[in-house]
Homo-oligomer: A and B are copies of this chain.
Amino acid sequence: MILPALNDIISAHERIKPFIHRTPVLTSQQMNRIFGCEMFFKCENFQKAGAFKFRGATNAVRLLTKEERKKGVVTHSSGNHAGALSLAASMNGVKAYIVMPENAPAVKVNAVKGYGAEITFCKPTLQSREETARIIIEKTGAVLVHPYDNYNVICGQGTSTVELLEDINDLEIIIAPVGGGGLLSGAATAARAINGKIKIMGAEPLNANDAWRSFASGVLTPSVNPLTIADGLLTSLSELTFSIIRKNVDDIYTVKEESIIECMLLVWERMKIIIEPSSATVLAVIRENPGFFRERRVGLIISGGNVDFRKLPF
């Protein structure tokens, strides 16, 4: 299996720069005092379509051949990748077909519609999603852009870590959330190659701990019907992301639901920015392991800010 290298990520960065936001790295003295370390928040919640996913999606769309561009892209997702791919496609004059479960929240359906994608509803099972996507591919020839099991997508996701390390010197640790592993794979590949001394850690909900179990056992072990408020982290690693993570990640920490909620609320209250539950996992790692992070310089990849404000946990 060929794993992405730093060069691929640097190329992806040059490729997507005209389309993405260079997101800010925020700091907060108050939060540093509370958590006992020096934190640098790479704010992908300010990325277009509200999440880092726009980076990978844009890289994948820009790498389509002329023929493929005519046929369009397809994915199955009820989350941030659906919106990101729809927007990336629309900005590049490419048609997007999105398969969404019939019970997807109206707010997400509307976002995808707003970006001009064509939605096909399916039953809320992985089997129905994949089957529906397959039918669309047969009919249209559209190219599947998987949310994370995709080389070009992973390279795109790594670009946020390149920017973080351009902006902040001497980081000792980087923490990124892990669901399907696209973001963590990209972050780890970039950070490991740029500075071998940086420790790279994954943050995962205890309630969806497939990456932690796979990492610990060395055997890919997908989650079965996980339930967590971090709705972006319900997916399980693929062979590709697992291989990258085994090679480049130092450790994976699991965090409790109450830590995730508490940390999300803390960021909203103290930093006045909206982060989604999946992003709060990185802070929850520090919250649950204060001794390890004491006085360290830690980069936190804040994955996104897409929250359904009508379903808050507090």
Binding site for B on A (CB under 8 A): 45-46, 50, 265, 268-269, 272-275, 305, 307, 309-310, 312, 314
Contact = CB atoms under 8 A, between A and B. Distances in A.
A310 B275 CA distance: 17
Contact of A274 (B50, B268, B312, B314): B268
Q: How many copies does the complex hold?
A: 2
Contacts of A314: 309-310
Nearest to A107: B269
Contacts of A274: 268, 272-274
Given A272-B45, A272-B46, A274-B273, A309 B312 contact: yes
Contacts of A45: 272
A274 B269 CA distance: 8
A268 B268 CA distance: 10
A309 B50 contact: no
A260 to B, nearest CB: 15
A309 B307 CA distance: 14
Contacts of A46: 272
Contacts of A305: 272
A83 to B, nearest CB: 12
19 contacts: A45-B272, A46-B272, A50-B272, A265-B309, A268-B274, A268-B307, A268-B309, A269-B309, A272-B273, A272-B274, A272-B275, A272-B305, A273-B273, A273-B274, A274-B274, A309-B312, A309-B314, A310-B314, A312-B312
Nearest to A30: B48
Contacts of A309: 265, 268-269, 312, 314
For A45, A309, A310, which residue has the most chain B Cβ atoms within 10 angstroms? A309
Contacts of A269: 309
